[in-house]
Amino acid sequence: MIPVVLTIAGSDSSCGAGIQADLKTFSALGCHGLTALTCVVAETPGKVRSIQAMRPEIVRDQLEVLLTAYPVAAIKTGMLFSTPIIRAVAEVLAGLKTLPPLVIDPVMVASSGDALLKPKAVASYRKHLFPLAALITPNLDELGVLTGDRPDSLAGMIRSGKQLAAQTGVPLLLKGGHLKGKTATDILMTQAWDLSEYSAPFVRGVETHGTGCTYSAAIAAGLAKGYPLAKAVGEAKKFVTRALKGGHRWGNVATLDQVQLTRR
């Protein structure tokens, strides 16, 4: 039976990130994707023009309908945007008899630099959603918001990660793609304080919009297949690296290629 994965995230009109990237990733990795839409973002990889949030009641309805009808094997969250939406998501998930593995990508800032989360919503993540997670996947900017100290080195990333892990008690995937160097190095930090390193050569000169969405979606797909967390992260790292290498460009806009493997 094909695994079912649910993404709770925003719509990216350029289809490079958000639920569109998630669905392409799920499909490429042999999973059936479901979506609970949180907001609609009018954007291209370089610019966010506007954001329209869904009413929390609509988000709740989507979740309740899907989680009642489908055997969801894993869940990921992406752009949640506001406190009311975060609380609605957390209330539904906390009410489940059995919660599937939940991967939280705490989306806060677009690759263009535009804000994708209201400032007061950070506290809602901490209080309502993080306690439910199987994994949280902050990049350096998100780690800085969550800890008050944006790291600029691998050692700093690990130090800030330990601070966040102590606060949440949840495994973290610390994404070092914004660090300077020849490799993109990520650190999986478990509740036992074990550290696992995942590195790949930087893929330069390509569009990175949607990388975080693709990464977390691929991890959720791996967990839905029953992979242990470390294997799910390792396979996802390989997948997102291939998606970067296979990206496409049309003049000033570009995208990752999450579906390249399905065309072979």
pLDDT, tens only, 159-194: 999 999 999 999 999 998 777 777 889 999 987 778
Greater model confidence, 3 or 254:
3
What residues contact 250, with CB distance under 8 A and at least 6 apart?
A: none
Nearest to 239 by CA among 26, 18, 5, 7: 26
Q: What's the CATH number where 36 sits?
A: 3.40.1190.20
From the list 7, 77, 211, 214, the catalytic residue is 211
1-10, 13-22, 80-89, 147-156: which range is least confident on average?
147-156
Phi, psi of 148 (to 5 degrees): 80, 10
| pLDDT at site 263 | 57
User: How many C-alpha atoms does 169 have within 13 Å on its Cβ side?
Assistant: 4
Report if residue 39 sits inside a domain. yes
Residue with tokens 């892990």: 165
Residue 262 has pLDDT above 70, yes or no: no
pLDDT for the residue numbered 81: 93
Determine which one of 7, 144, 161, 175 is catalytic: 175
In terms of pLDDT, which residue wins out, 251 or 74? 74
Q: Is 33 a catalytic residue?
A: no
Catalytic, 183? Answer no
The arithmetic mean of pLDDT across residues 62-85, rounded, is 97
Per-residue confidence band for 264, with pLDDT thresholds at 50, 70 and 90: low
In a domain, 87, yes or no: yes
Least confident of 2-6, 129-133, 156-160: 156-160
Number of domains in the chain: 1
Residue 99 lies in a domain: yes
242, part of any domain:
yes
Q: CB atoms < 10 A from the CB of 201, how many?
A: 11
- Would you call 31 a catalytic residue per the annotation? no
pLDDT recorded at residue 154:
87
Assigned domain for 210 exists: yes
For residue 39, the cross-strand partners are 53
Residue 127's pLDDT is 94
Q: How far is CA 29 from the centre of its chain?
A: 16
Query: What is the tens place of the pLDDT at every residue in 91-117?
Result: 999 999 999 999 999 998 776 667 788
User: Would you state the pLDDT for residue 254?
Assistant: 78
Catalytic residue (one of 10, 78, 210, 247): 210
Catalytic residue among 18, 78, 185, 213: 213
What is the per-residue pLDDT for 112? 66
Among residues 16, 161, 212, 247, which one is catalytic?
212
Give the residue-averaged pLDDT of 133-162: 91
212 is catalytic: yes
Residue 258 in any domain: the answer is yes
Could you report the per-residue pLDDT of 132-141, keeping only the tens digit for each?
999 999 999 9
> Does residue 252 have a pLDDT over 90?
no
Q: Which domain holds residue 238?
A: 4-137+206-263
Would residue 7 show up in a list of annotated catalytic residues for this protein? Answer: no
Residue 233 covered by a domain: yes
pLDDT at residue 217, as a whole number? 98
Q: Could you tell me if residue 221 is inside a domain? A: yes
Q: What are 33's strand-pairing partners?
A: 5
